[in-house]
């Protein structure tokens, strides 16, 4: 076990407070990346003390492997326009940074009021040109992790904690 359910819950509450303070006004849209962020996003939404909107982006780069293929495929697009919103892209884990390198320019084209990234887990191995991540739950080692929504070949998402595979 890398992170217990209690440790995760406490940090998500803190992130909710940080995000609430960072966005006191304006329309806030949390865009969760499917499927890995869905549990984190659900808990984070309940920890943010202000009105907000929620939508999703679907991405895939792992398939059934434990190493990213390097090719990010967009599998689902948001149903709302990001125009004029403070957009917070919610990721499960940032590792290579390739997903962010592809999503950030795509979202910026639609003229959000602001665009930031929140990730539950950050491996700090991304290449230097990766966009910055404003809100980070935990820095973790470069291990393949599962649980709390993260999977390996669609298994282990149900675990209430995060563990190394």
pLDDT category at 96 given cuts 50, 70, 90 is: confident
Question: Is 139 annotated as catalytic?
Answer: no
Burial 39-71 (b: 16+ CB within 10 A, else e): bbbebbbebbeeebebbbbebbbeeeeeeeeee
Tell me the whole-structure pTM to 2 decimals.
Answer: 0.89
pLDDT category at 2 given cuts 50, 70, 90 is: very high
Predicted confidence (pLDDT) per residue in 17-74, tens digit: 999 999 999 999 999 999 999 999 999 999 999 999 999 998 776 555 555 556 667 7
Q: Are 137 and 10 a contacting pair, CB within 8 Å?
A: no
What is the per-residue pLDDT for 65? 52
Read off φ and ψ for residue 151, nearest 5 degrees: -130, 170
Instruction: Give Dmax over CA atoms of the chain in angstroms.
Output: 42
Predicted confidence (pLDDT) per residue in 110-120, tens digit: 999 999 999 99
Task: Write down all domains in the chain, each with its CATH number in brackets.
Answer: 5-164 (3.40.50.2020)
Catalytic residue, chosen from 27, 49, 92, 95, is 95
């Amino acid at each position: 076990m890398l992170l217990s359910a209690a440790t995760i819950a406490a940090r998500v509450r803190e992130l909710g407070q940080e995000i609430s303070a960072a966005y006191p006004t304006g329309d806030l849209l949390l865009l969760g990346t499917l499927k890995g962020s869905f549990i984190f996003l659900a808990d984070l939404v309940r920890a943010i003390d202000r009105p907000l909107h929620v939508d999703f982006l679907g991405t895939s780069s792992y398939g059934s492997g434990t190493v990213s293929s390097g090719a990010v495929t967009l599998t689902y697009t948001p149903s709302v326009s990001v125009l004029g919103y403070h957009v917070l892209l919610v990721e499960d884990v940032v590792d290579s940074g390739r997903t962010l390198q592809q999503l950030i320019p795509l979202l910026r084209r639609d003229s959000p009021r602001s665009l930031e990234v929140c990730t539950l887990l950050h491996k700090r191995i991304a290449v230097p040109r990766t966009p910055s991540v404003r809100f980070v739950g935990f820095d973790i080692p470069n291990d393949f992790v599962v649980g709390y929504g993260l999977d390996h070949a669609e298994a282990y998402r149900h675990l209430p904690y995060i563990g190394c595979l």
